[in-house]
Amino acid sequence: MKKIQILGTGCAKCKTLMANTEESVKALGIEATIEKVEKIQDIMKFGVMTTPALVVDGVVKSAGKVLSPEDIKKFL
């Protein structure tokens, strides 16, 4: 099972990335836990300076942009 984390403080872009990620997971039919990381201290642990960011299994895949569901599928 994949662990997917969305890093962001709750802005509109972060919510869009979360929705796109959920859509991608459903479309691919994979098992994954999707977690929202909102605390600045926790986001900083990933070395991310711009949000939203997508983290898959502990690896930062994207930061600072809202990925489309098609882009997210490539990382899953």
Q: What is the CATH number of the domain that holds 41?
A: 3.40.30.10
Mean pLDDT of 50-65: 97
| Domain that residue 30 falls in | 2-75
Please confirm, yes or no, whether 69 is among the known catalytic residues: no
Sheet with 59-63: list strands edge to edge.
Answer: 32-37, 2-7, 53-56, 59-63
Q: Which listed residue (4, 6, 7, 14) is catalytic?
A: 14
Considering the entire predicted model, what is its pTM?
A: 0.95
Q: What kind and span of H or E run contains 5?
A: strand 2-7
CB 66 within 8 A of CB 7: no
- Could you report the per-residue pLDDT of 4-25, keeping only the tens digit for each? 999 999 899 999 999 999 999 9
Does the active-site annotation cover 45?
A: no
Active-site residue (options: 3, 11, 12, 38) = 11
Q: Give 36's strand partners.
A: 6
* CA neighbor of 66 nearest in space, from 44, 43, 50: 50
* Number of domains within the chain: 1
